[in-house]
Amino acid sequence: MGTFCFCSSMTSNFNVPQVLPPSDPKLVVNGGSTLSGHVIVSGSKNSALPILAATLCCSGSSNLKNVPYLSDTRTMASILESLGAQVMSFGGDMVVNTDGIVSVEPDSSDVGKLRGGFFVIGPLLARFGEACVGLPGGCDIGARPVDLYIHGLRALGATVELRDGKVQAHVSNGKDLIGASFRLGYPSVGATETLMMAACMAEGKTVISNAAQEPEIIDLAGFLTNCGAVVEGAGTDTLYITGRRKLYGSEYSIMPDRIEVGTYMLAAAITRSCISISPVAHITLTCLADKLSGAGCKILQLSDDTLELSAVPWTIGDDLRGFSVKTNPFPGFPTDLQPLTMALLSTCKGVSVIEESVFENRMSHVTELQKFGAKIQVCGSRATVSGKGKASPLRGSQVNATDLRGGMSLVLAGLAAEGITEISGISHVDRGYESLEMKLQGLGANVIRTTTTTFPV
């Protein structure tokens, strides 16, 4: 795999390879080989982001461990710094001190980069009585409104308005938020987290019903409890929170990233390989494990926190069988693994159906997967995948990532495909996968990151 392009302009000698100026990084994968060995997953991005926001509730310093080094966690740190917090990082540790907060209006350009940026509205409002937060960004996978956040903050006694593209909120009684009972119209992960943080510092008791039950909610509740909050019911559909006027920074270790675990399970399956993965909390991925076992993979719990997934030919027999999935809030099949599962299904035997029920526009990877020769038809939120099986492998291709998990589905397809795959737009993938190419290389994958053009132009 070279890093040169051959260019025949008037001014260059076309026999001399030219290195083009650096551009957006790409991943180049020479696919078709099997993976082996062990991979260690990082801390969870989707836990780290709300927990970083929750440090705004706390006096003193919070020492967070196992924080993944990702563009999203760095942006979240910048958001906290734009408010006046001090953030120091050493390896996987992030120490945040919010005693010097001077603003309740985070940098809008950073908030516009990720959904998690909006979470700060809850703690700011609860601790300082006001907040002015720009509308959030994040992956372009649907409308992603913030109405549930606003509804909940109003129930807690805030006045909330949308003005000049920002959500402006203040505590209506000029003092504190007041605990309340309300039901979320949908078990939104981010709204549950934001309102949980706000309720932890509200006066009196709050009951949030139809709350999200994702493991990341339990992790956030764990951090808040360490800081002195009283939260019961995390991981069920009803949260009972007793407000405390003051919370104190504490030390907390972020849970392992269950979506990264699922990603490497799918990487082993799509390459018909056998790898082990740790640390894994098995309960968080039962849905995926059941589907992969049904398809023919063998999943072994090697120890409390290590699993092995085997999809090698002598384990799976003829080939992996397709299966159908519908995404749903936890404990349903995770929407974040939908694009990656689609990549796998395009290599399995038989017809599979994927229904996306969480986000209305999470299918943009389909046109890119089709470039590998995948046979996928989309009708609304349903995709029908006609698996090619081993007789007709995917072919390497030049593709473009437009969102985090869709981008990672292209990396998986590239690992399975015969020949070279070049994936541009890899900054989307960098938002959620720490040390991606190093981890893949450690499993024996032939993958490099480059900023030069590798295909002939």
Nearer to ligand EPZ, 44 or 273 (CB): 44
> 142 to 181, contacts with ligand EPZ by CB under 6 A?
142-149
- The single residue among 35, 41, 108, 115 that binds ligand EPZ, judged by CB under 6 A, is 115
Is there binding between residue 336 and ligand EPZ (CB under 6 A)?
A: yes
> How far is it, in rounded angstroms, from Cα 387 to Cα 289?
20
306 neighbors 257 (Cβ within 8 angstroms) = no
Angle subtended at Cα 139 by Cα 327 and Cα 288, rounded to the nearest 5 degrees: 30
348 catalytic residue (yes or no): no
Nearest to 153 by CA among 186, 94, 193, 116: 193
Residues 6+ apart with CB under 8 A from 164: none
Stretch of 103-111, 187-195, 295-303, 438-446 contacting ligand EPZ, by CB under 6 A: 187-195
Minimum distance from residue 176 beta carbon to ligand EPZ (Å): 23
309 neighbors 277 (Cβ within 8 angstroms) = yes
Minimum distance from residue 214 beta carbon to ligand EPZ (Å): 6
Pair of tokens at residue 136: 């959030």
Minimum distance from residue 141 beta carbon to ligand EPZ (Å): 6
Nearer to ligand EPZ, 178 or 195 (CB): 195
> How far is it, in rounded angstroms, from Cα 84 to Cα 51?
17
Minimum distance from residue 312 beta carbon to ligand EPZ (Å): 29
196 neighbors 221 (Cβ within 8 angstroms) = yes
352 neighbors 323 (Cβ within 8 angstroms) = yes
Of the chain, the end-to-end C-alpha distance in Å amounts to 15
Is there binding between residue 223 and ligand EPZ (CB under 6 A)?
A: no
Residue type, 5: C
Minimum distance from residue 6 beta carbon to ligand EPZ (Å): 38
Stretch of 4-12, 15-23, 189-197, 218-226 contacting ligand EPZ, by CB under 6 A: 189-197
- The single residue among 335, 352, 453, 454 that binds ligand EPZ, judged by CB under 6 A, is 335
> How far is it, in rounded angstroms, from Cα 91 to Cα 118?
26
Is there binding between residue 188 and ligand EPZ (CB under 6 A)?
A: yes
- The single residue among 180, 358, 374, 394 that binds ligand EPZ, judged by CB under 6 A, is 358
Minimum distance from residue 403 beta carbon to ligand EPZ (Å): 7
> 61 to 100, contacts with ligand EPZ by CB under 6 A?
none
Rounded to 10 degrees, the C-alpha dihedral 82/83/85/91 comes to -40
Is there binding between residue 359 and ligand EPZ (CB under 6 A)?
A: yes
- The single residue among 68, 190, 222, 262 that binds ligand EPZ, judged by CB under 6 A, is 190
Is there binding between residue 432 and ligand EPZ (CB under 6 A)?
A: yes
Nearer to ligand EPZ, 2 or 145 (CB): 145
Is there binding between residue 254 and ligand EPZ (CB under 6 A)?
A: no
Minimum distance from residue 287 beta carbon to ligand EPZ (Å): 12
Residues 6+ apart with CB under 8 A from 6: 14, 17, 18, 456
152 neighbors 210 (Cβ within 8 angstroms) = no
> How far is it, in rounded angstroms, from Cα 166 to Cα 300?
49
- The single residue among 48, 191, 199, 399 that binds ligand EPZ, judged by CB under 6 A, is 191
449 neighbors 29 (Cβ within 8 angstroms) = no
Nearer to ligand EPZ, 115 or 127 (CB): 115
Helices (H), ranges, 84-118 = 108-111
232 neighbors 193 (Cβ within 8 angstroms) = no
Site string for ligand EPZ, 373-412 (x = CB under 6 A): -------------------------------xx-------
Using Cβ positions, the residue closest to ligand EPZ within the complex turns out to be 190
Site string for ligand EPZ, 23-52 (x = CB under 6 A): -----------------------x--x---
Nearer to ligand EPZ, 261 or 348 (CB): 261
Minimum distance from residue 111 beta carbon to ligand EPZ (Å): 12
- The single residue among 88, 186, 232, 245 that binds ligand EPZ, judged by CB under 6 A, is 186
> How far is it, in rounded angstroms, from Cα 274 to Cα 388?
21
Buried b (16+ CB within 10 A) or exposed e, 235-248: bebebbbebbeebe
> How far is it, in rounded angstroms, from Cα 95 to Cα 86?
8
Nearer to ligand EPZ, 47 or 310 (CB): 47
151 neighbors 208 (Cβ within 8 angstroms) = no
Minimum distance from residue 336 beta carbon to ligand EPZ (Å): 4
Nearer to ligand EPZ, 43 or 432 (CB): 432
196 neighbors 217 (Cβ within 8 angstroms) = yes
The residue annotated as part of the active site, out of 139, 200, 227, 287, is 139
List active site positions: 139
Q: Which residues contact ligand EPZ by CB under 6 A?
A: 46, 49, 115-116, 139, 142-149, 186, 188-191, 335-336, 358-359, 404-405, 432
